[in-house]
């Protein structure tokens, strides 16, 4: 077990805590940079999809994992980002300008929903976001002049500095760059006062308020940031799909995004990445699994969603801290071997005390 002797405050909030971090993250970056040389075009495409999911997951993680606000409608922000980006690019905006603009438009939508949302708590908020997602879906269908309605709209390959990025590896690097930027942004945010304030709100609204954190403003900030980041992912998603239709952004996608952050591990940036990997590879695993099921069962529509649900259920019951939580447990087990105790990560139970009047 490594013990770091800290001699300055800067050292305490440093992103790369020690040489091990530098080595392993450097190795990971190198592997990602070399991946297009080593892997098939198909896998490069899959990896860029995973990067896009990871960006959206980071956005949702800020909201669910760090501010403690549950959103059941994040597909709406993905849709807003995707359609805004596609519309702007279609009207001649350069890619580098349209993508941040899509993020900003999505963030504005996030702020809009934050107005009523910041007064709600718990389930009310979850339901309000769900309603928002359904309204956005209907808007996409009915605003035919902008979105093309049910016919959908085609999205061209992204054009960067006059070069059309038609090859999968070119788009792969675009996604990787955006992911790294967003990741660094989130990591920085979380060690800054804003991020700390969000975490304080998650842990206890009352104590946060007592410490002088204006709840409504910070909840609005959380919604705006989360929606903005998800909107960025939406812009990339539009290019990846290359054809936008309203049914791509239904409630199943919202649930998938939520599944991602829960399975990955709430309250950690690693969790969003692990969750994206999980979501990215799950369809492949399910396709293989299908061969082993009786044909009557394997061909029913909705089976995939059912298996998603089952996995989510198992995680909530048996490993509420997700893949990252499991990794931390395993790591600690070996770090302090043979002193690990099962109770180390046990959560304290809270007993229900209502705030209702009868």
Partner 1 sequence: MDLAQLLVTGIAQGCIYGLIALGFVLIYKATETVNFAQGDLMMVGAFIAFTFIASLGMPYWLGLAAVIVTMALAGYALDVVLLRPISGQPQFAVVILTISLGFVLRAIAGVVWGHNPVSFPTPFSGKMLAVGNAVISQENVAIIVGTLLLCGLLFVFFRYTRLGVAMQAASQNQLAAYYMGIPVKRLSSTIWAISAGVAAVAGVLMAPVALVEPQMGFLGIKAFAAAVIGGFGSLPGALLGGLIVGVGEQLAGGYLPQGFKETSAYLLMLVVLTVRPGGLFAQIQRKKV
Residues of this chain that interact with partner 1 (CB under 8 A) are: 64, 68, 70, 72, 115-116, 119-124, 126-128, 130-132, 134-135, 138-139, 141-142, 206, 210, 255, 258-259, 262, 296-297, 300-303, 305-313, 316-317, 320, 347, 349-358
Minimum distance of partner 1 from residue 139's CB (angstroms): 8
Identify which of residues 8 and 348 has a Cβ nearer to partner 1 in the complex.
348
- Residue given tokens 């990067």 in the structure block: 51
Spatial separation of the C-alpha atoms in residues 299 and 301, rounded to whole Å: 6
Minimum distance of partner 1 from residue 310's CB (angstroms): 5
Contact 60, 275 (CB under 8 A): no
Return the DSSP state at 344: G
Identify which of residues 104 and 303 has a Cβ nearer to partner 1 in the complex.
303
Dig out the tokens for 330 from the structure. 């395993």
Minimum distance of partner 1 from residue 35's CB (angstroms): 33
Minimum distance of partner 1 from residue 74's CB (angstroms): 14
Identify which of residues 37 and 297 has a Cβ nearer to partner 1 in the complex.
297
Spatial separation of the C-alpha atoms in residues 260 and 279, rounded to whole Å: 6
Contact 259, 314 (CB under 8 A): no
Identify which of residues 8 and 358 has a Cβ nearer to partner 1 in the complex.
358
Minimum distance of partner 1 from residue 349's CB (angstroms): 3
Spatial separation of the C-alpha atoms in residues 324 and 346, rounded to whole Å: 15
Dig out the tokens for 7 from the structure. 């001699």
Identify which of residues 116 and 185 has a Cβ nearer to partner 1 in the complex.
116
Q: Where are the beta strands (DSSP E) in 155-303?
A: 159-160, 163-164, 243-244
In the three-class reduction of DSSP (H, G, I as helix; E, B as strand; rest coil), residue 158 is classed as: coil
Spatial separation of the C-alpha atoms in residues 173 and 105, rounded to whole Å: 24
Minimum distance of partner 1 from residue 212's CB (angstroms): 15
Query: What are the helix (H) ranges across 143-204?
Result: 144-147, 168-191, 193-203
Identify which of residues 76 and 101 has a Cβ nearer to partner 1 in the complex.
76
């Amino acid at each position: 077990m490594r013990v770091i002797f800290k001699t300055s405050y800067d050292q305490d909030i440093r992103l790369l805590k020690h040489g091990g971090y530098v080595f392993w993250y450097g190795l990971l970056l190198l592997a990602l940079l070399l991946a297009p040389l080593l892997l098939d075009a198909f896998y490069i495409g899959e990896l860029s999809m995973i990067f896009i999911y990871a960006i959206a997951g980071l956005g949702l993680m800020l909201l669910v994992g760090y501010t403690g606000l549950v959103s059941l409608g994040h597909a709406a922000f993905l849709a807003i980002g995707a359609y805004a980006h596609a519309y702007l690019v279609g009207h001649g905006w350069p890619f580098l300008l349209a993508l941040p603009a899509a993020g900003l438009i999505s963030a504005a939508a996030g702020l809009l929903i934050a107005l009523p949302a910041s007064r709600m708590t718990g389930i009310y908020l979850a339901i309000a976001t769900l309603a928002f997602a359904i309204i956005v879906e209907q808007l996409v269908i009915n605003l035919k002049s902008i979105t093309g309605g049910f016919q959908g709209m085609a999205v061209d390959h992204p054009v960067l500095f006059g070069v059309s990025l038609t090859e999968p590896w070119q788009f792969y690097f675009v996604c990787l760059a955006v992911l790294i930027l967003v990741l660094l942004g989130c990591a920085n945010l979380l060690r800054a006062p804003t991020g700390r304030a969000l975490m304080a709100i998650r842990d206890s609204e009352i104590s946060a308020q007592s410490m002088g954190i204006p709840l409504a403003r910070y909840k609005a900030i959380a919604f705006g940031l989360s929606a903005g980041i998800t909107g960025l992912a939406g812009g990339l998603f539009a290019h990846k799909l290359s054809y936008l239709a309203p049914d791509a952004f239904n409630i199943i996608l919202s649930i998938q995004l939520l599944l991602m952050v829960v399975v990955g591990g709430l309250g950690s940036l690693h969790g969003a990445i692990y969750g994206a990997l999980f979501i990215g590879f799950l369809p492949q695993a399910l396709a293989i699994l299908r061969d082993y099921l009786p044909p009557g069962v394997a061909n029913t529509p909705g089976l995939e969603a059912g298996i998603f649900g089952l996995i989510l259920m198992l995680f909530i019951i048996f490993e509420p801290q997700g893949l990252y939580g499991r990794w931390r447990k395993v790591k600690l087990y070996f770090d302090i071997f043979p002193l690990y105790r099962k109770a180390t990560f046990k959560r304290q139970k809270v007993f229900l005390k209502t705030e209702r009047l009868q």
